Structure 1
């Protein structure tokens, strides 16, 4: 089983947490992968991933753009996501 930890960080705190969580998963017998969404280019395959751990700061009701983009599976999904974000952020 592979556990994926996806994170976005500004000052490095989420990266520290991601490493800590990855070590715990390894000790539990899992294969681990870490992705800093700020450094991700293009799509990635998740075929071997059984568990996903997400770490990101929320500021002013938003995650970092790279973290939000990590979830965009295609044009329709991205459009739906943006619509939901507009609803959440309009006062």
Structure 2
């Protein structure tokens, strides 16, 4: 995780979950700042501390990172189906 701030255990867990998600196979180190910003906004939204702007930024980052169905579609990504094929 990038330096410059203290990361909570919840943020560290989310960071690990994101970087082990299937979408992360398409990210390189240039995605670190975007993923870090997503983690910050996500935890603020869940804790109720986020402004409407921060919630909107989380949504946009999620789409740009391919973490939402809309984002995956716009990037042309498809996750494998449980049977092993892709949709």
Give the TM interval when normalised to the shorter protein: 0.3 to 0.5
More strand, by proportion: 1
Q: How does the TM-score come out when normalised to structure 2?
A: 0.32
Q: How does the TM-score come out when normalised to structure 1?
A: 0.31
